[in-house]
Chain A
């Protein structure tokens, strides 16, 4: 596709036709095929277009760039190029390596800027102009929920990228949206037992929480997980997003009597608050006769680089890490590393997996129709995508799988080797009742757009 290849699709013409005025002047030779589509952006030619909506500017630009690398790799593998990556380990697989349902996979990209408005505008462009039939990507829950709602309205499938808030598949879940990534509840449930084992039952925790929906949700999950194990919560303080200097929130921790600091921060906030907490000597402190500890519930290796040595020995959870030794993870790391010279991040992993799962669902149902895709994905059990046996739960479109508890590596062997996997928390331990988080999926939207 080139820049000057501006397709005017039939949908646009039909709509402008309805309006009248504009259609009068619309050159009729643009009309390629005018028969009605069964659903939004039904692929008519020899190819199918996917839309990858990732942050390319702003604080998460590097994470977005890594997601984009993963998407490109997934497209390559789906089209039968390259070494095939996890397609070789994925089972049960209906993928054939000749695109999706015999159509070559093409993609368009957009910049979410990590803002709901920009992300929705970008997704709309892909749907309205480029004819994307599936949207994926993203690096924050606000954006994921906003784009998921949009895809529901437009009648395309949304395969969420990195989004960790419970709401994405909780009270904001939608029938057309699916999430492979884990959530704050699972982080809490996985971390609880490990924290108890490492730090004991008698602990006093101090929470610093990013003051927005994800932060509150993470704080709640961590409090549930720790308080049920006998920990006490000394204080939970909300900090403004993007505060930069957290000193005014950290100094009160020093003499609060707490012996654990839980940082419910992500991205730049996490980098800054962790760096500064370590500078304030918290990790060298002895409180109540115990070593003072810091916990970061959601760890991203890519962002953790920004905190340098401060992450050493700190516990957190992660969706996936490249150091995993199973065949699927190794195949993915090999394929990604050979292509780009660096191992994939967990954001890249989830985006790659989501693309494969979408393609597979189309193949399973033999259709691109959202109804068919949703039917194939709901309750789909699979293995060989790096997380062990996994299931897309039908009730809330959330993947259930093992969760990794990780710790900042004390002796990294390379600049990528920042996290070591401490424990693989089994799925059963992090599972919860779908009703717990509220919300309802509603009907699948498979109407023509």
Chain B
């Protein structure tokens, strides 16, 4: 690794960290500067970064990554119910559980490649979803979702049947003598994990996750993964066993998903089965490709864009539009509202679909390619007199 790219990586990391920290202020003019959406940006950013470690580096397209997200969420909520409302045990436990789950599934699915691998991962995720929704209800609380509840009465009668789905224990909190009124809120040593503190908790983890992903991409391990992507057969012929590398990448990627799932539960302690549905797996695929698969920042951008559409575009109703077009005369206003109404509010899916098509048609490398085109244009203007001798990094 040469010095130049190291400096570049450090600059990239610092800029990224700065942008994430300043996000509440930067995104306010876009209507996205409120805690819940900021949390979602950070969480799905982590999810997409993790997914990209597998897909972007190795080219293995998993269509079941949401299963790890869901498992992470369930694991966290169970920690809240059994141990403590402090988020640290929950986050650690979730990442471990998701890692183990990923190891099991990766061990089986990575026997195949290409679309066969994709369908195998899809099959496992769908099985997890279907079972969590129905027969696994004792663990997952089915459709309603697993929730934090009030404590079970401490003076239980002898014939009392403890129902862990509807009553909690919180052994650690109890041992430390925490007094609860109603249903408690998640905390980090006393700091509430909802609202902005919750966002900054996620943001710090996002920055760490991002930094780690740079390290992985630049390491020998990362090089090996890229080699698998470009030609796995050649590697196999040279006597390299690619499977351990692939499984490691799969597990790391699953742990990222587990972390994201855990953070979903940290900022909002409810875990539902639909988090594991194939549409959720599909979403992270779309986020990554939209932003630019294989790039470092692309997945985060893609995640932000999709979540922005889901939360902001879906909320623009006819009243808002009427206000927006109020400068127009009445008849024109009506037409403008009717036309725009197809794309926002209940029609936000249409805009999303069109966006996918436009981006992939015009920017094969996702959003990141768009940025690069713009950047190149500026550079070319500057460098008209000097020849360009260094090739752009893959980012």
Interface residues, chain A, CB within 8 Å of chain B? 1-6, 8, 12, 15-16, 18-19, 21-22, 25-26, 56-57, 61, 64-65, 68, 107-111, 115-118, 120-122, 124-125, 128-129, 141-142, 145-146, 149-150, 152-153, 167, 171-172, 211-214, 238, 240-241, 438-440, 442-443, 445
- For residue B248, CB closer than 8 A to chain A, the reply is no
A141 to B346 alpha-carbon distance, docked (Å)? 21
- For residue B183, CB closer than 8 A to chain A, the reply is yes
6 A-B pairs with least C-beta separation:
A124-B36, A56-B346, A212-B143, A129-B34, A2-B323, A111-B314
A8 to B31 alpha-carbon distance, docked (Å)? 9
Residues facing A in B10-37 (CB within 8 A) are 21-22, 24-25, 28-29, 31, 33-37
- For residue B330, CB closer than 8 A to chain A, the reply is no
> A2-B326, A8-B28, A442-B183 given as contacts; is B314 within 8 A of A116 (CB)?
no
Instruction: Pick from A111, A142, A145: contact of B346, CB below 8 A.
Output: A111
Residue among A2, A172, A439 facing the most chain B CB atoms (10 A cut-off): A2
B211-219, B269-277, B375-383 - the one binding chain A:
B269-277
Within the complex, what minimum Cβ distance (angstroms) separates A156 from chain B? Answer: 14
Q: Are B144 and A125 in contact (CB under 8 A)?
A: no
Interface string of B272-309 (1 = CB under 8 A from A): 10110000000000000000000000000000000000
Number of interface residues of B (CB under 8 A): 56
B interface: dominant SS = helix
- For residue B253, CB closer than 8 A to chain A, the reply is no
Of chain B, the residue at the smallest CB distance from A124 is B36
Q: Are B130 and A142 in contact (CB under 8 A)?
A: no
A214 to B133 alpha-carbon distance, docked (Å)? 12
Measured between beta carbons, the chain A residues less than 8 angstroms from B28 are: 6, 8
- For residue B59, CB closer than 8 A to chain A, the reply is no
- For residue B349, CB closer than 8 A to chain A, the reply is yes
Measured between beta carbons, the chain B residues less than 8 angstroms from A121 are: 36-37, 40, 310-311
Q: Are B134 and A115 in contact (CB under 8 A)?
A: no
Instruction: Pick from B25, B143, B311: contact of A125, CB below 8 A.
Output: B311
Instruction: Pick from A1, A18, A109, A442: contact of B150, CB below 8 A.
Output: A442
Number of A-B contacts (CB under 8 A): 158
Q: Are B194 and A153 in contact (CB under 8 A)?
A: yes
A121 to B346 alpha-carbon distance, docked (Å)? 16
Within the complex, what minimum Cβ distance (angstroms) separates B263 from chain A? Answer: 13
Within the complex, what minimum Cβ distance (angstroms) separates A440 from chain B? Answer: 7
A141 to B22 alpha-carbon distance, docked (Å)? 38
Q: Are B272 and A128 in contact (CB under 8 A)?
A: no
Of chain B, the residue at the smallest CB distance from A58 is B349
Measured between beta carbons, the chain A residues less than 8 angstroms from B317 are: 68, 108-109
A96 to B1 alpha-carbon distance, docked (Å)? 74
Within the complex, what minimum Cβ distance (angstroms) separates A134 from chain B? Answer: 16
Instruction: Pick from B40, B166, B183: contact of A171, CB below 8 A.
Output: B166
- For residue B93, CB closer than 8 A to chain A, the reply is no
Q: Are A115 and B274 in contact (CB under 8 A)?
A: yes
- For residue B316, CB closer than 8 A to chain A, the reply is yes
Within the complex, what minimum Cβ distance (angstroms) separates A60 from chain B? Answer: 12
Q: Are A125 and B36 in contact (CB under 8 A)?
A: yes
A16 to B270 alpha-carbon distance, docked (Å)? 25
- For residue B56, CB closer than 8 A to chain A, the reply is no
Instruction: Pick from A22, A64, A153: contact of B196, CB below 8 A.
Output: A22
Within the complex, what minimum Cβ distance (angstroms) separates B164 from chain A? Answer: 14
- For residue B319, CB closer than 8 A to chain A, the reply is yes
- For residue B240, CB closer than 8 A to chain A, the reply is no
